[in-house]
Structure 1
Amino acid sequence: MLSIPLSIAIATAVAFTPSVPFRASEHADGAPVASELGHQVLADGDGWASADGGTTGGANAAPEDVHEVSTRDELAAAVAGNKPKIVYVKQHIDANTASDGSPIACEDYAVDGYSLAAYLAAFDPLHWTGTASGPLEDARKASSANQRKQIRIDVGANTTIVGVGDAQLTGFTLNIDRVDNVIVRNLQLSDAYDCFPAWNGDTWKTEWDNLVVSGSTHVWLDHLTLDDGGTVDAEQPVYFGKPFLRHDGLLDVVRQADLVTISWSRMVGHDKSLLWGNGDGATRDRGKLRVTLHHNELVDLEQRAPRVRFGQAHVYNNVYKVSNPDHYQYSWGVGVESSIIARNNTFELAAGIPPARIIQNFGGTGIDEEGTWVNGRHVNVLAAYTSANPAASLTPEVSGLPGPHLPIEPAPAARNRVERGAGSGLLR
């Protein structure tokens, strides 16, 4: 982000106390100019989350509602409820850890006779057709529910969560569900690992996302790192001819969620990455799913960066890097009634990946794309896509709006700043 005017920054800094939120301003590398991260709020005009009253999180929390957490149980308790609160994550926390500090293995969640060996034997396509059902599938669902109780953290309204230093949450699903006014910053969210994938007769279905914004409004996600940690889906075994994946999405925005800004974050090494709108028939999403994605570094994301249905997505000044053509499908998925406005993004594509693959059509009608740089030169990506896909062509017009935004930089300038300033552990 560009810094707010100096006169405003000085006046705000002089007036700042814990009860007066400080509007976040940054140096050229994306680092903050103030250290009271928990009391910072989203700057005016910084994406869709700044609209309709803005996003303040827990900036006005009373002293007794400022928490420091170091365990899974402390985190779950601290973020619950809807009064203003600030939660500082002080160290690495693994979701799969019991209250006494002992690790929880997948087998510890299993109930009612579930085991992977028994599941594979029961639903082998050599003698089973279609979606898994019956006692072993019921046991898988019950076991999965046990894992959900442990790893899913439900975030209340009016909450700010900030990592202290290089704080990391491993194995969690951070769930922002049907609440308003949430800020999450300076955290690494890794390896939302599904112990109990389901067989649907054609492929393996996984459950957990690193972070979900569902039915919520005014959400600012900033300086995060989202990845699969030590688990690489491409290295998982193959069962029934299909990869036994362990991850679902990185960051989903779904079920009429609205007014979301995702900034200065780093997303790395994932398949189904950013899904905004989760059904072609989810017509209640019309007019919702307004999301801004800016100054993020997206590295080796195979698909959905983002894939949009119904929503209005403003995607600007991001840096996309793809190193393996065998593990890349597309970046911008143009879904039903979607409005993607893409401005001044940078792509670094490995040899063998043409610019036409950046876009894929999933039933949409258009994408408004300008100022894209690919491997060091300006490229009209929509024209490249249209030339390669004449039967699924898209217009350059969309019905949605970009919404509020900070000044949009030339793509090369944004690339330099993003490479220095995106990701967790940089806000001190």
Structure 2
Amino acid sequence: MTTLRSRRRIPAAALTIALAAALAMPAGAALATGAVPARPALAVAESSPTGFASVNALGQNGTTGGLGGPVVTVTNGTDLAYYAGRNTPYIIMVSGRIQISGMITVVANKSVLGVGSTAEITGGGLQLGSTTRPGNNVIIRNIRFTGASDDSISVTNKAHHVWIDHNDLSDGYDGLLDIKRESDYVTVSWNRFHDHSKTALLGHSDTYTADIGKLRVTYHHNFFDGTDQRHPRVRFAEPVHVYNNYYRGNALYGVASTMNAGVLVEGNYFRDVAHPIYVGYDKSGPGRVVERNNIYDNSGTPQTAGTVVEPRTYYSYPLDPAANVPAIVEAGAGVGRI
């Protein structure tokens, strides 16, 4: 078994995000700080992120999105783009199906939240930040993304403190959820990915070495449901924490660590995945992987190599037994669950 090396602890944030009213949750449904949601029913989802989006770093104490800003409801792409691009905090409620083309830029201090179980963005996607306007402190929850002409969600251009939670992503042109170009402190949780190939890229390219020392991302309780590859595919990043995800029928591979990335894969359930973990992939050089407490059900043998920084030096987290992950994730991932 390969081992993990530790590093200086960075305190985790302990913020409760007061979005219960905006999400139309019942009175008193928001969890207290530090609470863990009931499993597997998940009647109430987390009100603040676990993982890297919770960490106090880069001048941002956790991820609060548009907290404190006005709550607005949008039903068309024009209004969505307008409020997403404003320079002040907003809680943007997406109601119904919104058809867009291209990418809408979401700038700092925004929450983009779906209403009920029918919120959908189709034809295009959301890009967090531009080269001149950062996409820091952004929350995207409870939205179905379909048929994007590029990425469904792109976290890019040094965006940090991002929480992407309880979405449903499918049938895009390029990546469903790409995180790249020096972005940092991101949590991807409780999403369902399906009907797609290139699922979740982490790291721009083999030559984009500016990503070294960045791209700290947590993936937990996601359902990679028949998607082919990139769950995630990682370059340069360390540590990347992949825990309690459910992988089912992924044709090419589960996780790939390349270009000296450091990835911890723990407590996941792999079902019918011939290549659950790769060290190196295609033309990219090898990364490092530590695996522990995973279940490989009718799946191949994982590749591992080297040591990886321990995520617990950044934050604490609850870990579900891998045997329980399929039931927990199927019950809780996707839209209409918060």
- TM-score class, shorter-chain normalisation, is 0.7 to 0.9
Match of 1:344 among 267, 272, 283: 267
Distance 2:202 2:98 in 1: 28
Q: Residue 162 in 1 paired to residue 105 in 2?
A: no
Distance 1:23 1:190 in 2: 33
Q: Residue 222 in 1 paired to residue 165 in 2?
A: yes
Q: Residue 56 in 1 paired to residue 64 in 2?
A: yes
Distance 2:178 2:195 in 1: 16
Match of 2:286 in 1: 364
Q: Structure 1 residues 24 and 424 mapped into 2: Cα distance closer, same or farther (>3 Å)?
A: farther
Q: Residue 320 in 1 paired to residue 247 in 2?
A: yes
Tell me the alpha carbon deviations over residues 360-396 of structure 1, each in whole angstroms, 9 at most, x when there is no partner.
513124211111112279x8623xxxxxxxxxxx524
Distance 2:31 2:68 in 1: 7
Contact residue 276 and residue 301 of structure 2 kept, 8 A: no
TM-fit CA distance, 1:274? 0.8
Tell me the alpha carbon deviations over residues 184-234 of structure 1, each in whole angstroms, 9 at most, x when there is no partner.
1111111113xxxxxxxxxxxxxx100000020000000011101xxxxxx
Contact residue 279 and residue 287 of structure 2 kept, 8 A: no
Match of 1:189 in 2: 145
Contact residue 30 and residue 264 of structure 1 kept, 8 A: no
Distance 1:32 1:182 in 2: 24
Match of 2:80 in 1: 75
Q: Structure 1 residues 87 and 422 mapped into 2: Cα distance closer, same or farther (>3 Å)?
A: same
TM-fit CA distance, 1:155? 0.6
Unmatched runs of 5 consecutive residues or more in structure 1: 1-11, 96-149, 194-207, 229-245, 383-393
TM-fit CA distance, 1:399? 4.7
Q: Residue 212 in 1 paired to residue 154 in 2?
A: yes
Residue identity matched to 1:216: A
Contact residue 250 and residue 273 of structure 1 kept, 8 A: yes
Contact residue 370 and residue 380 of structure 1 kept, 8 A: no
Contact residue 296 and residue 318 of structure 1 kept, 8 A: yes
Match of 2:92 in 1: 87
> TM-score w.r.t. structure 2 length?
0.81
- From the CA coordinates, give the structure whose radius of gyration is larger: 1
Contact residue 126 and residue 153 of structure 2 kept, 8 A: yes
Contact residue 21 and residue 60 of structure 1 kept, 8 A: no
> TM-score w.r.t. structure 1 length?
0.65
Distance 1:160 1:225 in 2: 17
Tell me the alpha carbon deviations over residues 248-288 of structure 1, each in whole angstroms, 9 at most, x when there is no partner.
11100000000000111101121111110011221211111
TM-fit CA distance, 1:154? 0.7
Distance 1:183 1:405 in 2: 20
Distance 2:181 2:267 in 1: 29
Contact residue 17 and residue 67 of structure 2 kept, 8 A: no
Contact residue 13 and residue 22 of structure 1 kept, 8 A: no
Distance 1:78 1:29 in 2: 36
Match of 1:173 in 2: 125
Distance 1:409 1:421 in 2: 13
Residue identity matched to 2:142: N
Match of 1:408 among 298, 315, 319: 319
TM-fit CA distance, 1:408? 1.1
Contact residue 82 and residue 159 of structure 1 kept, 8 A: no
TM-fit CA distance, 1:398? 2.6
Match of 1:381 in 2: 302
Aligned pair count reads 300
Higher strand share: 2
Superposition pairs for residues 139-288 of structure 1, below 5 Å? 150-166=101-117, 167-177=119-129, 178-193=134-149, 208-214=150-156, 215-228=158-171, 247-288=173-214
Distance 1:92 1:213 in 2: 22
Residue identity matched to 1:366: R
Q: Structure 1 residues 277 and 409 mapped into 2: Cα distance closer, same or farther (>3 Å)?
A: same
Q: Structure 1 residues 373 and 21 mapped into 2: Cα distance closer, same or farther (>3 Å)?
A: closer
Contact residue 151 and residue 173 of structure 1 kept, 8 A: yes
TM-fit CA distance, 1:24? 8.7
Q: Structure 1 residues 67 and 253 mapped into 2: Cα distance closer, same or farther (>3 Å)?
A: same
Distance 1:293 1:399 in 2: 16
